[in-house]
Amino acid sequence: MATDPLAGMLQRCSLHVLLMVTATTLSRSGFGDVEIQGRRKSRQKSRNGGHELLCRTTIGGQPVRVLVKVIQDKIRTRMVHEMAGCLIDFNGDIGLVISPFNSSALGAKKQVINPKLGVRVIEGSELVKLMRCSGIGVRPKGDVDYAFFGELEARSAEFLAYLKAIKR
């Protein structure tokens, strides 16, 4: 279970809200322009074969593509290897696998995963730390902004209904 209330809030939110919050956090953390790749519900498939977000930025004049897989569960080694395959298939430079949950079993295996794959894991506590540093989902004193998350859930539902209506 999450001990930090912000981590608990992230674990309970819908996939679309988690994607929006993660995209904003990455953008404010220096990952450049972040684009949601079409998947907004947990039962949908990713439009681009396994990653939900695409970050584009420039470092030293060189374009960099960061592929991001957002998981609503504990991260498994298989997911990290799938991201490595995505990096090859979609010519990405860096791969991130992000989850609001902490995975103690994967923590021990992190050292075993080949660093040449270019895949990095961001688990719950690290995601919460990035969000707090970026001021996302928290009030000025550091408390969770429950109204923010409630409004995101409401707007998400409206947006998903709109998408469903225009697909007809």
| Cα-based distances in Å from 88 to 13, 116, 128 | 31, 12, 29
Distance between CA atoms of 23 and 64, rounded to whole angstroms?
16
Q: What is the pLDDT of residues 8-24, one digit of tens each?
A: 999 999 888 999 999 99
Token look-up 């939110």 returns 13
pLDDT > 80? residue 138:
yes
Mean pLDDT, rounded, for 86-107 = 82
pLDDT value for 27: 93
Higher pLDDT, 51 or 2: 51
At 135, the pLDDT band (50, 70, 90 cuts) reads: very high
pLDDT > 90? residue 137:
yes
Q: What is the pTM of this model?
A: 0.84
pLDDT > 80? residue 107:
no
